[in-house]
Amino acid sequence: MRTIVVEWGRLGCVGFGGPPAHIRLLRDLCVERRRWLDAEEFEDAIAACNMLPGPASTQLAIYCAARVGGTGGGLLGGVAFIVPGLVLILALAALFLSGPPTWVLAAGAGAGAAVAAVAVDAAGSLVPSSWRRTASRPRWTLYVVLALAATVLTGPWVVLALLGCGLAELVVRRPPPADRLTDGTTVTSWLPTLGLWGAMGAASTLAGLAWVAFKVGALSYGGGFVIIPLMQADAVDHYRWMSSAEFLNAVALGQVTPGPVVQTVAVVGYAAAGLAGGLLAALVAFGPSFVLVLGGAGRFDALRGNARVRAFLDGCGPAAIGAILGSAWLLAAPLTEPWQLAVLAGAGAMLLLWRRGVVLTLLAAAGAGVVLVGAGLPLG
C-alpha cells in the first residue's frame, strides 16, 4: 500500500498533458517497469475505461492500482493520483477568484481566450480512432452534426443528444438481446448505484453544487470537454456562481494542472462555496468513477464483449465529438476584445498546426494576456 501511495502520488504530481500523458506514465510504471500487468491486459483496461462515463485516465489509474493492491489499493491509488492536481487547482482558484491583482486577471483573460482552441484539439484527437471503428460513416457524421447543433442550441441538454445517438445506434444494429455479463450481473444493474450518488447529492445542504458535480462525473462520455456546456450553463447561467470570464479561467486551470479536465468542477465549487465547496465538488464528481471501477473491475472484459454496450457507445462516441466541437463555440462566445480573438487564433495555430501541446499553448496565451493588458488593452 505504501508503494501504491508513493507511485500513484508521483504520477499525480507529474501528470501534465491530459489522458495521453497519463496513459503513457501508467504503462511505463505498471507494464514496463514493475510488470504488474501484461501489455494485453493494460490495453483491455484502456478500452473498458473509455466505455465508462467519467475521466477515463483516472479510471485507468484506479483499475491498475486495484490490480496491484485489491479494492483498498484501488481506492488509495485513485486518491493519490487525484489529490496533487486537486490541491494545485484549488490554490490557483483561490488566486484567480479572490480579488487578484491585474496581472493575474490578464493572465486568466489570455489563457481563457485559448480554451476554445483546446476544445477543438481535443475533439480532433478523438476523430481518427472513432472514424476507423464506426459501423456506418454516414451515421457517424449525422451523430456528430446532431450533437454539435444540440450543444450550440440547447447547452446542457446535449446530454439527451448523446443518449439519443447511443439508443439510435442500438436500435439500428439490433444486437443479440442477452446483455448479461459473465458473472450473471446485467449491465443495467449498475444504474441504481449511480442513482444513489445522485440522491446523496440532492439531499445535501449544498444540493445544487452536489448535483452539478454528480452530472459532471456521471455524464462525461468521450472526455471532460463533453460536460463543459452543462457545467457552464449551471455555474454561469443558472446559479450565477461565476462570470463567463471566470469560467473560462476555470477551464484553463483544468488544463494547466496535472489531472483530468473534470477537476475544473473544483474551481466551480470554490466559486460557489469556498474551499468546502471545491472539495465537495471534487468528491462527488470523482465518486462515480470509483464506484464503477472498483465495483466492476472484474467485469471489464465482459463489458467490452457485450454487443449492446458496444452498439450504444458507438453511437455516443461520435456524438461526444460533436458535443466537444459545440463546446468550443460556447467557450469562444464570451470573448469580446479583438486581442482575445487574436490570442485564440494563435492558440489554434500552436495546437493544430505546430502541435506544441496544451500546457505550453495556455501558458503562452496567459503570457500574451499579461503583455497586452500591460500595454493598455482592456481586460474584456
What residue segments make up the domains of the chain, in order of their start?
Answer: 90-374
Query: Residue 77's closest CA among 41, 25, 38?
Result: 25
Q: Rounded mean pLDDT of 268-288?
A: 92
Q: Most confidently modeled of 169-183, 233-247, 289-303?
A: 233-247
- pLDDT for 283 equals 93
- pLDDT for 194 equals 41
Write down the number of H helices and E strands in the chain. Answer: 16, 0
d(CA 269, CA 142): 35
Q: Residues 351, 256: contact at Cβ < 8 Å?
A: no
Among 34-38, 205-209, 321-325, 370-374, the minimum mean pLDDT is found in 205-209
Cell of 122: 481535443
**Chain mean pLDDT for the chain:** 82
Q: Rounded mean pLDDT of 304-310?
A: 75
pLDDT confidence band for 47 (50 / 70 / 90)? low
Would you give the DSSP letter of residue 33? I
Q: Say if residue 124's pLDDT is above 70.
A: yes
- pLDDT for 224 equals 63
- pLDDT for 298 equals 64
- pLDDT for 184 equals 47
Q: Rounded mean pLDDT of 255-281?
A: 88
Q: Is 179 exposed, middle or buried (0-12, 13-18, 19+ CB in 10 A)?
A: middle
CA 208 to chain centre: 20
Q: Which residue has the higher pLDDT, 183 or 58?
A: 58
Q: Which residue has the higher pLDDT, 52 or 131?
A: 131
Q: Rounded mean pLDDT of 141-158?
A: 87
Please tell me whether residue 1 adopts helix, strand or coil conformation.
coil
pLDDT confidence band for 255 (50 / 70 / 90)? confident
Determine what percent of the chain is predicted with pLDDT higher than 70. Answer: 84
Q: Which residue has the higher pLDDT, 114 or 44?
A: 114
pLDDT confidence band for 146 (50 / 70 / 90)? very high
Q: Say if residue 199's pLDDT is above 70.
A: no
Q: Say if residue 84's pLDDT is above 90.
A: yes
Q: Say if residue 200's pLDDT is above 70.
A: no
d(CA 336, CA 379): 9
pLDDT confidence band for 188 (50 / 70 / 90)? very low
Q: Rounded mean pLDDT of 275-289?
A: 92
Determine what percent of the chain is predicted with pLDDT higher than 90. Answer: 27
d(CA 200, CA 211): 9
- pLDDT for 96 equals 83
Query: Residue 93's closest CA among 332, 287, 263?
Result: 263
Among 216-220, 349-353, 376-380, the minimum mean pLDDT is found in 216-220
Q: Which residue has the higher pLDDT, 43 or 151?
A: 151
Q: Say if residue 25's pLDDT is above 70.
A: yes
pTM, full prediction = 0.73
Q: Rounded mean pLDDT of 136-148?
A: 93
